[in-house]
Amino acid sequence: MTDYSPASSLGWLDLDTAASERVATLLRSLEEPGTIDALGLGSIRDAFSDMLTPGTSTVQTRLRYFIFLPWIFQRLEAEGTPPATFARKLRDYEVKLIDCLRHLGSNQGVIGRIVGRNLRRMPSDIYWGSMAAWGIRKPDLSLADYGRQARALGRYRPERDDDGGATEPAGSIWAAVPEAPKDFPTGQITFELNPDEAQALTEGIRREHPDTLIAVLSARPELALDSIDYPWLAPASQLPDRLDTMLHHARCFSELTHGPQLVYNLLLARAASHELGWDTKELEESQKQRLDEWSELVGGRQAELQAWVNAPHDFRQVLAGDGIAHSTLEFWDQMARHAVDNPARFAESPEVHRLIRDRERRLKSKRARLSHRAALENWNQAPFGGQLEYRWSITKSYLQDLRAAEAPT
pLDDT of 131? 95
Region 69-94: mean pLDDT is: 94
Q: How confident is the model at residue 218 (pLDDT cuts 50, 70, 90)?
A: very high
Q: What percent of the chain has pLDDT over 70?
A: 86
**Best CA proximity match to 406, nearest among 220, 153, 246, 181:** 220
Q: How far is CA 168 from CA 4, 135, 176, 202, 359, in A?
A: 55, 12, 5, 17, 50
Query: Which residues, 6+ apart, have CB-to-CB distance to 33 below 8 Å?
Result: 58, 59
Q: How far apart are CA 298 and CA 368, in angstroms?
A: 28
**Best CA proximity match to 123, nearest among 57, 178, 182:** 57
Q: How far apart are CA 26 and CA 43, in angstroms?
A: 11
**Best CA proximity match to 109, nearest among 142, 68, 71, 70:** 68
pLDDT of 98? 96
Q: How confident is the model at residue 25 (pLDDT cuts 50, 70, 90)?
A: very low
- CA within 13 Å, CB half, 225: 8
Q: What percent of the chain has pLDDT over 90?
A: 74
**Best CA proximity match to 395, nearest among 262, 211, 234:** 234
pLDDT of 176? 84
pLDDT of 33? 39
pLDDT above 70 (res 139)? yes
Output the average pLDDT for the chain.
Answer: 87
Q: How far apart are CA 242 and CA 314, in angstroms?
A: 12
Q: How far apart are CA 309 and CA 350, in angstroms?
A: 21
Per-residue pLDDT tens digits for 287-336 = 999 999 999 999 999 999 999 999 999 999 999 989 999 999 999 999 99
Region 94-111: mean pLDDT is: 95
pTM for the model stands at 0.85
**Best CA proximity match to 39, nearest among 297, 362, 381:** 362
pLDDT of 37? 81
